[in-house]
Amino acid sequence: MKKPARHPAITLAGSPRIARNALRIALFVGTLLNLINQGPRVWAGEPVSWLHLLLNYLVPFCVATYSAVKNELSRRPPPAPDPLKP
């Protein structure tokens, strides 16, 4: 049985180059967001919100991945028409 083809966006999102770049962006932006959003709590000795900490890294990772994939797909030539389709 033939495996269904993955969408090119999924393949690109998992590529090492895009994932590595998105991770670097997420670490930088996520750290800044955590300092802005939770810095006063940390300096006051209060506990941090782990959900917000996670989201502050996850959202920039997703945005960076999405924009890199969208950019890569826009640079590709359109696929050739399928001769079997009417």
| Cα(79)–Cα(76) distance, integer angstroms | 9
pLDDT of residue 70: 94
Percent helix / strand / coil, the chain, rounded to 5: 70, 0, 30
State pTM to two decimals.
0.80
- pLDDT for res 42: 87
pLDDT at res. 60: 97
Spatial separation of the C-alpha atoms in residues 17 and 7, rounded to whole Å: 18
What is the C-alpha separation between 52 and 58, in angstroms, rounded? 10
In this prediction, residue 16 carries a pLDDT of 94
pLDDT at 2: 67
For the chain, list residues with pLDDT below 70: 1-2, 86
Q: Count Cα atoms within 13 angstroms, Cβ side, for 25.
A: 17
pLDDT at residue number 32 = 97
